[in-house]
Structure 1
Amino acid sequence: MPVNLGFAHASNAFLIAALLIYSLAVLAFAGDYAFGRPRRAASATGVRAPARAGARLATVGAGQAPAGLDTAGLDTSGPNTDGTTADGAAGPGDGGSGIVTPAAPARSLPVPPTGAFRAMWAAGTWVRAAAVLSAVGMLAHLAAVVTRGLAVHRAPWGNMYEFITALTCVAAIFFGYIVLRYRAWTLGVFVMGAVVLSLGLAETLIYTPAGPLVPALQSYWLSIHVTAMTLATGIFFVAAVLGIMYLIAERYRKRVEAGKAQPGNGLIARIPSAQTLDKLTYRTVVFGFPVWTFGVIAGAIWADQAWGRYWGWDPVETWAFITWVIYAAYLHARATAGWRGARAHYIQLLGFASLVTNMLVVQVFITGMHSYAGVSG
């Protein structure tokens, strides 16, 4: 079917609008860091500052944040999926951040579903502006992906440009969920900044006009295999940013312990604690890993139908499997007492580096049966 030029132009316009609105949201998040009230003091060290009069968070006891929330306002109630507790109690597979925190009450206070909206609205003008801009940007981004699909009459991830456009949309929406679930708006400048950078590079360097699929991709498996890989990559994108922030927070904590930095000083002190970032990263990878696994299996089934074999050690297949092995190693490391903290996060970041290598190097510069990126190498 011919390309619907009306939808194609609308998709381009929506994407430019999303990029501009996201950029404004990042500036608003940065404005909160620069000019917002210092309400998250010492969060990166895991050391709670004395509670101030009139603090927005209700206290449980003297100088403590509510149970189930860290000092950045993040909901960390309930046990980790790897057996550890939110207050860092010992258990198999603990993140190993080594953060010393006051003992939490035995019963955590539940966070109502609307609590995140109220807390965000009460966090100040900069956070409110960033939240509204991010939400509008996500709607524009989603509209760009949908109208691209309507323009080409297929799933809108048939080349590298469309793939990056879609995965950054997944990353933005998934981060929106993290913000609402864990009140993690202090991470917005980093995650949304990475989304803006990736989307801007794709729009500038590898823009591909709307067009039909190459014959080899004209299969219903495109909507199964590539959709799964798009979702998983967007989720791993967020996990990678969280992992980098963990390493920064952990380094800051060690500097405070060594007396080389003062707790509560500087911008790093306003990000969530290393313990919280470790927990968020792990949960994000746990969510994305089964999706990636399904995508690899679906790709093997598609390969059997298209080429008569499930696996042929094509470069893209091989790198996808390597990526799967590395993320599996990360999850295994989290369940092994000897691999905690930064070392486990280096494995997770190595997995994302493998994924990016497959996406931007192998598919573009190495000739194989998956050379459909639509980018001239």
Structure 2
Amino acid sequence: MTLAADEGLADFSNLLIYTAMAVYALTFVAYTAEWIFGSRSRVARTSSALGGAEAGEPGEAAESADVPAQRPAVVVRKGGATSVLDRPKIVTRSTTPERDAVPDGPGAAGGDERGDTFGRIAVSLTTLAFLLHLGGVVARTIAVGRGPWSNMYEFSTAFSMVLVASYLGFLAFRRNVRWLGLPLVTTVLLDLGLAVTVLYNDSTQLVPALDSIWMMIHVPLAIICGALMYVGAVGAVLFLFRDRYEAKLAAGGKPGRFATSVLERLPSSLTLDRFSYRINAAVFPFWTFTIVAGAIWAENAWGRYWGWDPKETWAFITWIVYAIYLHARSTAGWKGRRTAYLCIAGLVCFLINYYGVNIFFDSLHGYGGV
């Protein structure tokens, strides 16, 4: 085995990754505390909001990413007098046509001062952990003298880094996405834990097939697309829970205390559905180009564009599932639970392509080992 070109820097990279994991663990605790200590008394309750809407009351639905602040904005002048009219309360419409309009929750624990404080601490810790994580990936890159994604360990650390970067990016440009924090940090901890314990590989030796400019195009794109597919799938999973909760309320049922405490803090089912769809719609062209770039690379390396290698096959299956998902929404008018299942199935195919093919199948793409 060829060791890292700069063992000292490689060791420093490992130290940064372990330190980042420690901070991610603290972040996990902070996000959990945010959800536990967020006061339900300050959360816009779905059932109350629906009841208020039926009675013509303004309610106190929280703002969401797609809902502007409810503030006086219309001025009417009559006979020299001025009256200010409040904007009508804007709520998102459920994915189920017969269901009443449903407001977004505040996005996480929100509302309560202590819960919001824990949330702000969690975001700050996420940023710190990301910087340490980024430093570890950059140090690895310098140590090995190439892109940090030639084996499963490097791919995993880069993948989880892009996950966190995408979350921080959404926080910077959107409101009401802090609900992503807890599931995302949990996934990052699991991914890094698996990377450093099972998948670690300090080899820098590259087979000739990897010595191509396409390595700097195809693999980073696969990492970015996979990370965003994961974010979209999280939105789809949470949509399923929130949609069932809203349906139970609409039917006059009374969800349990835990479900009420957690699910009322999420955006509405429609907001989650749109969030997931928009991400997948934006990622799909890039995933398509990722597969095309891989085919061009294969022709340069092995003299053929496509050979139904297990890695190529599962990449194509993933593409098919997402194509069906987008087609069903845009032409067949599918929304809601059916498309959420397709979105989740697409991510499962991606994970099989990565973990399953690399570990359990003989593939030309198994050059990096674990």
Same fold, TM exceeding 0.5? yes
Distance 1:202 1:289 in 2: 27
1:40 matched to 2:43: yes
1:138 matched to 2:134: no
Aligned to 1:310, what secondary structure does the other structure show? coil
Partner of 1:111 in structure 2? Answer: none
| Percent of aligned positions that are identical | 38
Distance 1:47 1:213 in 2: 60
Which amino acid counterpart does residue 128 of structure 1 have in structure 2? R
Which amino acid counterpart does residue 58 of structure 2 have in structure 1? A
Partner of 1:202 in structure 2? Answer: 195
Q: Structure 1 pair 209/142, CA: closer, same or farther in 2 (3 Å)? A: same
The counterpart of 1:19, out of the listed 15, 18, 21, is: 21
The counterpart of 1:62, out of the listed 58, 68, 79, is: 58
Which amino acid counterpart does residue 8 of structure 1 have in structure 2? A
Partner of 2:167 in structure 1? Answer: 175
Partner of 2:180 in structure 1? Answer: 187
Q: Which string of whole-angstrom CA distances, capped at 9 and with x for unpartnered residues, describes residues 342-361 of structure 1? A: 10010111111111111111
Structural mapping, 1:73-112, within 5 Å? 73-77=63-67, 88=92, 96=96, 100-101=100-101
CA RMSD of aligned residues (A): 2.9
1:252 matched to 2:240: no
Structure number with the higher helix fraction is 2
Q: Which string of whole-angstrom CA distances, capped at 9 and with x for unpartnered residues, describes residues 129-175 of structure 1? A: 10100111111111111111111111100011111111111111111
Larger Cα-atom Rg: 2
Distance 2:21 2:52 in 1: 40
Distance 2:179 2:324 in 1: 29
Partner of 2:207 in structure 1? Answer: 214
Partner of 1:361 in structure 2? Answer: 356
Q: Structure 1 pair 42/334, CA: closer, same or farther in 2 (3 Å)? A: farther
Bigger shift: residues 350-359 or 4-13: 4-13
| Runs of 5+ unmatched residues, structure 1 | 52-60, 66-70, 79-85, 105-118
Structure 1 segments of 4+ aligned residues over 6 angstroms from their partners: 119-123
Preserved CA contact (<8 Å) 2:37 2:114: no
Aligned to 1:195, what secondary structure does the other structure show? helix
User: Aligned-pair distance for 1:64?
Assistant: 4.6
Distance 2:92 2:44 in 1: 20
Distance 1:9 1:50 in 2: 60
User: Aligned-pair distance for 1:11?
Assistant: 1.1
Q: Structure 1 pair 97/152, CA: closer, same or farther in 2 (3 Å)? A: farther
Preserved CA contact (<8 Å) 1:148 1:210: no
| Runs of 5+ unmatched residues, structure 2 | 69-89, 105-110
Distance 1:196 1:315 in 2: 28
Which amino acid counterpart does residue 23 of structure 1 have in structure 2? A
Partner of 2:300 in structure 1? Answer: 305
Distance 1:315 1:46 in 2: 52
Aligned to 2:366, what secondary structure does the other structure show? coil
Preserved CA contact (<8 Å) 1:46 1:100: no
Q: Structure 1 pair 120/9, CA: closer, same or farther in 2 (3 Å)? A: farther
Distance 1:127 1:216 in 2: 46
Distance 1:98 1:149 in 2: 54
Which amino acid counterpart does residue 179 of structure 1 have in structure 2? L
The counterpart of 2:320, out of the listed 322, 325, 329, is: 325
User: Aligned-pair distance for 1:299?
Assistant: 0.5
Q: Which string of whole-angstrom CA distances, capped at 9 and with x for unpartnered residues, describes residues 87-140 of structure 1? A: 556xxxx95586532799xxxxxxxxxxxxxx9999721011101001111111
The counterpart of 2:330, out of the listed 325, 329, 335, is: 335
Q: Structure 1 pair 103/204, CA: closer, same or farther in 2 (3 Å)? A: closer
Preserved CA contact (<8 Å) 1:255 1:261: yes
Structural mapping, 1:236-315, within 5 Å? 236-262=229-255, 265-315=260-310
Distance 2:193 2:97 in 1: 34
State how many pairs are aligned: 334
Partner of 1:225 in structure 2? Answer: 218
Q: Structure 1 pair 291/120, CA: closer, same or farther in 2 (3 Å)? A: farther
Which amino acid counterpart does residue 157 of structure 1 have in structure 2? W
Preserved CA contact (<8 Å) 1:239 1:285: yes
Bigger shift: residues 192-201 or 352-361: 192-201
Which amino acid counterpart does residue 236 of structure 1 have in structure 2? M
User: Aligned-pair distance for 1:201?
Assistant: 2.0
1:347 matched to 2:350: no
Greater relative contact order (Cα < 8 A, sep 6+): 1
Preserved CA contact (<8 Å) 1:33 1:267: yes
Aligned to 1:63, what secondary structure does the other structure show? coil
Distance 2:292 2:100 in 1: 42
TM-score (norm 2): 0.82
Distance 2:362 2:304 in 1: 19
Aligned to 1:266, what secondary structure does the other structure show? helix
Distance 2:357 2:336 in 1: 31
